[in-house]
Amino acid sequence: MNVALSSVLSGISSANERLRASAANVANLAAANESRAGVEPTNVDVAPQREINPANEVVEQQAAAYAFIANLKVLQAQLNTTVALLDIKA
């Protein structure tokens, strides 16, 4: 697996996890003592947010969806380029 494909698949996985975490936050909105789940780079200085804001979750879900689509388009472009190169070589 080449580096570009690995990067695209990592981006798709990251967008999926962001959407999953945001959906869990919306599902737990009624629970008063639930902390906000998030997908953040590991940093010991960052404290989790205590309050879940539905507006922020909608924005997070949209951003995750756009990141997912962008990574799929990069993957599609890479596959199209690979097919074109193979056609030229054949």
| 4-32 tens-digit pLDDT | 788 899 999 999 999 999 999 988 887 75
- Diameter of the chain by CA atoms? 62
**Does 85 score more than 90 pLDDT?**
no
Query: What pLDDT shows up at residue 33?
Result: 55
Two tokens at 30? 């009624």
Domain that holds residue 50: 3-89
The predicted model scores a pTM of: 0.70
Total Cβ atoms within 10 A of residue 24: 16
- Per the structure, the count of domains in the chain is 1
Query: What pLDDT shows up at residue 38?
Result: 66
Angstrom distances, CA of residue 28 to CA of 16, 23, 24, 50, 55: 18, 9, 6, 12, 14
pLDDT-based confidence at residue 39 (cuts at 50, 70, 90): low
Total Cβ atoms within 10 A of residue 8: 20
Query: What pLDDT shows up at residue 66?
Result: 97
Share above pLDDT 90 across residues of the chain, in percent, rounded to a whole number: 44
Centroid of chain to Cα 6: 14
Mean pLDDT score across all residues of the chain: 82
